[in-house]
Structure 1
């Protein structure tokens, strides 16, 4: 094996294929699903670490013995279900596809339970876990969700402190619970407000990015398409033609250029006005897009002239396509203001050849179009093959 092959292993390497299949099996087939399953598995790992720490703390007598087991038997099935839902793609169309709100609810319930199970002098560590939940949600929640999570945390812990200190004042000393409640009231509201602000800024940034993307798409549409007909403009079609020339030079893929001119279009404008003329151009474009193949491209070349680019198309197939367009045009009402108005077209066809340049191919199509007009219009003329 050469050094280049060693540095650039082939795609059919069984080891790499095996790793890729394993990753897809665990994390999902697409980027978004993999990101969400990775997040859910990371959270599950954190819970497993916390459960392991709870068993160790129980051995030290800092937490009631049943608590670690209860945390474990609830955490495993909950995260198994969450993982299955996300990995299967069933949450893809949810407003919360990563199921962050259900995770936060479960986290708050678990933390509240841990608070009740810890010893009288060790419950302060729960405040750190609440802060962790708030920070984790800052970059995924909406502002409203951040406020609800913060308010829910304060409500659950506040109720736990009040109810338990009333039921069992020996294990939950009211004075200690009051101090912790005051600390919670002093820390969670500012943290909730910060999470709310960050969520607001993030949403605003997402909205701005979406608007910028839409604006760029509109600018690109205006730069590459004709505003009246919606077809490619001349500049964009020129780029497509040059790309086809490149493919012809590399792979021998022939293409045909068809130059079309609407017959007696000036008379339409003179008799009915430019608004009717614009309707004719627009509806001609719609008819052409309907009958042409998906691989064909039509552009407004200038005024009432259109250029059709037809990859891998012979002269016979081009004639059939243009007859379909002629039939569709005869059945199309081009303007609601003049329902009976119909127009015909003349066309010149040239197949690109290796001995000619792109400009020569277009010149041949133009000469064939001129000949179609000279012979009475409403017809298609083929440019003769180039002599080698």
Structure 2
């Protein structure tokens, strides 16, 4: 039995090619339709399920698979054109059959790697360079056996090289261009050698190759520029994201101390209030004020005053639990929210912070300087307005100052006693 009889018939190969091409086009069209939010699709049409089944339910893998299917559609169209050439008796059937089987097998291997997720083990999950290289080899092969349809391979080559926009480095793009120039040069030289007695064909191959080199250089230059533009765009997007984060940080934090600012603290207090109402858990507020802070500014200057504010803020923050929140309320005042805490526990924490602050240097201008703070603490009463809770803490603070400073008083009990 001749070996050719063991291979699939030409009609079978063409049917397989049409089927594969149809699947590729349907998948690409399906994923595109799913992105058209304004298009009302019938609910009974399982487009998303089909897309997830053929590509992947994971967004990153699906994007890679969609790009792969676009390339497959272009390549299979070229192979199908070769098979049409066989039908028209313009191309050798055995050579075309071998190329078709190899192309279908290669597509199947790449699809299996991507669908199983093995591609994620590589530095480039899209396998762009590998796919581009394989496609260039098949196009050169198709050019070699393509007969009158050889220019079609050159057209598809430019299309495939456009996928190099997704290659990460210029070095990889250079390798793809060198590979294309090399293998197509060999294919054209082989065609010219076979038709060496036909000067027109030889001259035409030389013209084709010169045009190809010019096209490769132009495409490489354009793609390299697009890659640079994409890199610049990514850098600017990163800078924009960082700027937005800084703006968001400035909108919620005090620039000097790094603590939350008054506006954001009010939002957090409102959230904690609703949580307390739902759960029944208590929380407390404490208003703190640095004692004799004006004297520090007058004697050492505002720079030293800023140092004092920053150091006091860090000392308070270090003495709190992770669930407690402190904000700079204004000037030298701080507001602390103790979550899931009663007044007794909040008072103990504040006294511990006071003791730590007495032993902490607060400015390099006068390393011997020690500062203290006065504080008023109160518990939130269910269903009351937050302004009333804050006012009680503020009254307790002023009572502590009136009682001699450097102390913690409660509201209403201690404040009333001090009065």
Question: CA–CA distance in 1 between the matches of 2:151 and 2:135?
Answer: 17
Deviation at 1:259, TM superposition (A): 1.0
1:308 is aligned to 2:340:
no
1:164 is aligned to 2:194:
no
Q: How does 1:187-202 map to 2 (within 5 A)?
A: 187-202=215-230
CA-atom RMSD in angstroms = 3.9
Contact 2:192-2:205 at 8 Å conserved across structures: no
Deviation at 1:365, TM superposition (A): 0.6
Aligned to 1:148: 174
Change beyond 3 A, Cα 1:371–1:75? same
**Cα distance per residue 1:95-116 (max 9 Å; x no partner):** x554433433333333333333
Aligned to 1:344: 372
Question: CA–CA distance in 1 between the matches of 2:358 and 2:119?
Answer: 54
Question: CA–CA distance in 2 between the matches of 1:55 and 1:171?
Answer: 25
Change beyond 3 A, Cα 1:158–1:55? closer
Question: CA–CA distance in 2 between the matches of 1:347 and 1:132?
Answer: 73
Deviation at 1:290, TM superposition (A): 3.2
Q: How does 1:215-230 map to 2 (within 5 A)?
A: 215-230=243-258
Give the number of the structure whose alpha-carbon radius of gyration is greater: 2
Match of 1:178 among 191, 206, 213: 206
Deviation at 1:355, TM superposition (A): 4.5
Aligned to 1:27: 56
Question: CA–CA distance in 2 between the matches of 1:79 and 1:24?
Answer: 13
Question: CA–CA distance in 1 between the matches of 2:317 and 2:57?
Answer: 38
Contiguous gaps of at least 5 residues in structure 2: 1-47, 414-419
Provide the secondary structure at the position in 2 that maps to 1:313. Answer: coil
Aligned to 2:158: 131
Match of 1:280 among 308, 319, 327: 308
Question: CA–CA distance in 1 between the matches of 2:344 and 2:137?
Answer: 74
1:335 is aligned to 2:363:
yes
Question: CA–CA distance in 2 between the matches of 1:332 and 1:102?
Answer: 63
Contact 1:28-1:87 at 8 Å conserved across structures: no
Aligned to 2:21: none
Deviation at 1:225, TM superposition (A): 1.8
1:358 is aligned to 2:392:
no
Structure richer in helix, relative to its length: 2
Change beyond 3 A, Cα 1:183–1:265? same
Question: CA–CA distance in 2 between the matches of 1:171 and 1:109?
Answer: 27
TM-score relative to the length of structure 2: 0.70
Match of 2:138 among 97, 110, 128: 110
Contiguous gaps of at least 5 residues in structure 1: 1-18
Residues paired across the two proteins, number: 358
TM-score relative to the length of structure 1: 0.75
Change beyond 3 A, Cα 1:165–1:56? closer
Question: CA–CA distance in 2 between the matches of 1:203 and 1:148?
Answer: 18
Contact 1:130-1:153 at 8 Å conserved across structures: no
Change beyond 3 A, Cα 1:236–1:196? same
Provide the secondary structure at the position in 2 that maps to 1:101. Answer: helix
